[in-house]
Amino acid sequence: MTSEIFYEYLPNCFIPSLNEMRRQEKNLQASEALVLTETDWVVYWIDGYSSHLTLHASKLCELNHIHLYCFKAHASHICQPNDVGPFKSLKAEWKQAVSEWRQIYLYQALTRQVFAPLLGKTLEKLNAEAVIAGYKATGLYPWNVDAVHYGNLTTKIHRQLW
């Protein structure tokens, strides 16, 4: 993921989907303006990968009432819901989709034009329950401090010393 791709993703995919949900919540018709208030802020959980942490992305999110919130470094195994939940099955589905595509298009490169539709088909196979389970297992939603495995935050060396 590059900062350019992440920046393109926000206004072309994420923000339109978010705004559609907001419009539905406010019972707005397509012709009515969506006016954001202080109650419309959402949290967008991201890892600390540098492509997500640009001034342009941050400003765009601020204008659209989106808080960018970074997970603690090296803690994805306990607090990143997608790593805990759907990514394992998504990675397997993606490998299968690419393998099938390569059997059909033996000598072609997997370009951006091919990547997006292929990923779209893969995402359609994603189980919503796996996403929900990931957020629940990490204690992010519903909020549950007791769901976090705090013992996993220490290193092996540290554990051996104690």
Is 92 found in the same domain as 49?
no
Residue 105: CB partners within 8 Å, gap ≥ 6?
114
Query: Could you list the pLDDT tens digit for every one of the 162 residues in the chain?
Result: 788 888 899 999 999 999 999 999 999 998 999 999 999 999 988 877 777 788 999 999 999 999 998 877 666 666 667 776 777 788 888 899 999 999 999 999 988 888 888 888 888 888 788 778 888 887 878 888 888 777 766 555 444 444
pLDDT at site 136: 84
pTM (two decimals): 0.59
Tell me which of 70, 102, 118 is where a domain ends: 70
Distance between start and end Cα atoms, the chain: 39
Range of the domain at 111: 87-126
In a domain, 139, yes or no: no
Is 92 found in the same domain as 41?
no
In a domain, 141, yes or no: no
Is 64 found in the same domain as 24?
yes
Number of H helices, E strands in the chain: 9, 2
Number of domains the chain contains = 2
Is 91 found in the same domain as 65?
no
Q: Are 85 and 135 in contact (CB under 8 A)?
A: yes
pLDDT at site 126: 81
Is 113 found in the same domain as 66?
no
pLDDT at site 33: 95
pLDDT at site 153: 62
Look up tokens 């495995």; give the residue: 149
Nearest to 18 by CA among 32, 34, 7, 5: 34
CA dihedral 46, 48, 111, 7 (to 10 degrees): 70
In a domain, 160, yes or no: no
In a domain, 82, yes or no: no
Is 112 found in the same domain as 53?
no
In a domain, 136, yes or no: no
